Amino acid sequence: MSGYANQAKGAVEDPDALADAVLAAHKAGHGLVNPIWGDVLERLRALPAAKGAHVLHGLAARYRAAPEKGGPILPVVAVVPTGAVADDVLVAERRAALDELARHYGAWGPDARLLAEAELAAGRALEAPVVALLRRLALETYQVPETAAFAKRLTEPVLNVGELWADRALADLDSLPEPWRRLLALATAATTAKPNAKWEEPARALVAEIGEEAVRGTMLAWLELVGRPRTIPLERNRYDYDVTNAYDPFNANAVRGLTWFLALLPADPRSARVLGALVETSLRKVDGLGPRNPKVANAAVGVLARLSGEAVLAELARLATRLTYKGTLKLVDAALEAKAAELGLRREEIEELAVPSYGLTGVGRSTVVLGEATAEVAVVGSTAVLGWRSAAGKPVKSPPASVKRDHAEELKALKATVKDVDKMLTAQVERLDRQFLAQRRWPFTVWRERYLDHPLVGTIARRLLWTVDGVACAFTDGELRDLAGEPVTGGEVALWHPIGHPTAEVLAWRDRLEEHGITQPFKQAHREVYLLTDAERDTGTYSNRFAAHVLRQHQFHSLAAVRGWRNKLRLAVDDTYEPAVRDLPLWGLRAEYWIEGDGHEYGVDTAPSGSYLRLRTDQVRFYPVDAAPNHAHASGGGYAPVRGRQAEPLPLTEVPDLVLSEVLRDVDLFVGVASVGNDPTWQDGGPGGRFATYWQSYGFGELTETARTRRDLLTRLLPRLAIGGRCTVEDRFLQVKGTRHTYRIHLGSGNIMIAPDNRYLCIVPKAGPGTESYLPFDGDRTLTVILSKAMLLADDTKITDPTILSQL
């Protein structure tokens, strides 16, 4: 027995002394159930009832005299036995303490459980937010068994309140038949990775009792609301992650269970759509936590893997291009491989065949008649647009009231389809942009069916360049034509890349695209080509072209995943990491970008989770794909293979030109997007000013290949722009002549200086589509920002933003 427990035992005749002992024990034990605090509680529980009543009132008096210091007295009051003198002491204060605890995601120690036990012992029901807190506490790894056992007694409400989907489900239960309550209770029991027979047997019985369509319709309505903002926000403690945007862990089990029910129903496009959206919602990043709930995402993928049909294949194929979380992506890949094997196809073929038409009757167009109105779905660029025409055939901005009234379900389905088309367009653009290193070849008729004439993919394919039996061609004037304008048919088709083609041909294709006003879905004709430099021939086995940069780690990590690189977030801990790696199995190679965490001050150089905020970059290297992996400490110190193993880098001269160019283009993208040097608010050099030199050199220094492509394009486009007469391209800058000043916009970073004294001008770009000027490709955010800034500054007398005006 601890000394505090003995002190409490000896003070039972003196409430003040007992209160002192209680407060001292609580402080020494930090309020946790441990030998100090736990012994005191057990000693108090063992008091005779008569003494308990005396102690109870004495503790209450002490609390009322100084409530700000007597918080630990409340849970103690809850455990003191009072026998027949069971009048509620400090009941209002105890309930208020519970309500305060319930405003948080979790709580330390046993106080919430002790107070809740006292409420139930007194015959009072617990408020729903309190039940939610106790259930969350029971699921935390550091909780004691008593909390988990107590939480199991709390069966109502069947879900935790505070999340929109759960609140909707609880409200629906009032009008739904009784089996629905049993269904939700069974859903909360989904605590394993996959459903087992013990779970599925009662689940199938419930589906049969309620009816398949009723189960599907109601469940999908609930699942569509998962991830929406909480209805009861939770307060975030200092070291907590963003608890308000995370899933409630008790409800997360229920969500997983609801997805399992969908696996017991016949496949349906609505189910596939909702499951795909749930995967993405569940992997959305939460500050300080990472992905919201990979277990829910994995469960949804598991259900998609069990279902069949075109819509299911489409969702899996879309997710394969969109996901960056490796654990879930691995499950998606496995599901696609399994379905490909079932159909006797290769994986890449299943991804092509999985793209639905979404009701499009022509390439990028369809019409749907709803009553007297006509809906028109059209793909404009890489976006799906829904338009309307009245009974008279005139364009109208929104659906007529009669459509909303008489065709509500059809309208809802149509809007959902447009969203699906949008998502799939993005996925297909990203898939095709990664095809250059895949070296895919198609027979002409197969390619025409899957690409050129496909109702959805055709809108992308018709804006790209292809080769047919080695002849470069593009879709113009309704046909596939070569540079001379002659139709091209038959033969083997491949995706065109500028490497290996004469400069004159590349420039001619750029002219052709601009002449026809074609905006490519990604850079192809204007794609950067990275050839080996003399410096790289001298270094031999590595490139320093993108070394010595400072990148925002989390932005780099996301970009790397999108581009197919393997990378782990570096934590400020004593651990080792591999470099960022892109595996190239078709080429027998592995590319590495060497990076390390920057800084040593926790909270300044790290996020609350302990991950570095910034990285420093080093070499790019190539190895045989099966070479031993390299490792380095999180904070640096050099990369090397594990002791006893060898990893010899390849000479850069042995790396195929296409591979070298595409890998370095990825790295250029990482630097161009994630560098702190292109942040206009970092003119002071960031924390402690230690990045000032880097920020200045990057923000106004030499241009990368991407920036040089930007310069060449602007030189061609400026004469066609309204501001062309006020702009000139000079070396690294776009010079803009305004009325107040002349401005120089750096073509790499987008940072601005005011001439002639090179005074810095900070303009933070706003989120949005940017300039409406024609560009021959999508995807260069910095180019869009540069043009938007140029248009603003060319007419600088109309600037009204006080933040900008104060700098002019």
φ, ψ at 441 (rounded to 5°): -130, 140
Query: Angle at which helices 91-102 and 111-121 pack, to 10 degrees?
Result: 130
- Taking only the tens place, the pLDDT of each residue in 546-599 is 999 999 999 999 899 889 899 999 988 888 999 999 999 999 999 999 999 998
Alpha helices in 263-373 (DSSP H): 269-282, 294-306, 310-322, 326-343, 347-353
Residue range 696-714: mean pLDDT, rounded = 88
**Contacts of residue 360, Cβ cutoff 8 Å, sequence gap at least 6:** 366, 377, 379, 421, 455, 456
Identify the pLDDT of residue 372.
83
In the predicted model, is pLDDT for residue 11 greater than 60?
no
Identify the pLDDT of residue 39.
61
In the predicted model, is pLDDT for residue 53 greater than 90?
no
Average pLDDT, the chain: 86
In the predicted model, is pLDDT for residue 269 greater than 50?
yes
Identify the pLDDT of residue 139.
86
Residue range 106-128: mean pLDDT, rounded = 80
What percentage of the chain exceeds 90 in pLDDT? Answer: 44
Tell me how far apart the alpha carbons of residues 104 and 133 are, in angstroms, rounded to a whole number.
8
Identify the pLDDT of residue 86.
43
β-pairing verdict for 727-730 and 589-597: unpaired
Identify the pLDDT of residue 304.
95
Q: Are 73 and 18 contacting, i.e. CB atoms less than 8 angstroms apart?
A: no
Identify the pLDDT of residue 72.
63
What percentage of the chain exceeds 70 in pLDDT? Answer: 88
More confident residue, 302 or 65: 302
- Taking only the tens place, the pLDDT of each residue in 187-238 is 999 999 899 999 999 999 999 999 999 999 999 999 999 999 999 999 877 6
CA 295 to centroid of chain Cα atoms: 15
In the predicted model, is pLDDT for residue 707 greater than 80?
yes
More confident residue, 393 or 684: 393
- Taking only the tens place, the pLDDT of each residue in 621-633 is 999 999 999 999 8
**Region of residue 387 (phi > 0: left; psi between -120 and 50: alpha; otherwise: beta):** beta
What pTM value is reported for the model?
A: 0.78
- Taking only the tens place, the pLDDT of each residue in 739-788 is 999 999 999 888 889 988 888 888 887 765 555 678 899 888 889 889 99
**Contacts of residue 3, Cβ cutoff 8 Å, sequence gap at least 6:** none
Residue range 455-475: mean pLDDT, rounded = 94
